[in-house]
Structure 1
Amino acid sequence: LAEQSDDAHRQVYEGQQHHEAKFSHELLAGAASFEGMKLFEDHQRKQGKTVNHAFAKELLAGFVGAEIDKLAETKGMDEVEKHRAKQHAEQNAHQMYEEHYERRHGAPEFDPRIPPPPRFGSEGRGWY
Structure 2
Amino acid sequence: MASEALIDSDLHGLQLLNKGKVRDVYATSDPNLLLFVASDRISAYDVILRNGVPDKGKVLTKISLFWFDKLKHVIPTHFVTANVDEMPEEVRQYREILEGRAMLVKRAKVVPLEAIVRGYLAGASPACSHC
TM-score of the aligned structures, taking structure 2 as reference length? 0.27
TM-score of the aligned structures, taking structure 1 as reference length? 0.27
Q: Which has the higher helix share?
A: 1
- Which structure is richer in relative contact order (CA contacts within 8 A, separation 6 or more)? 1
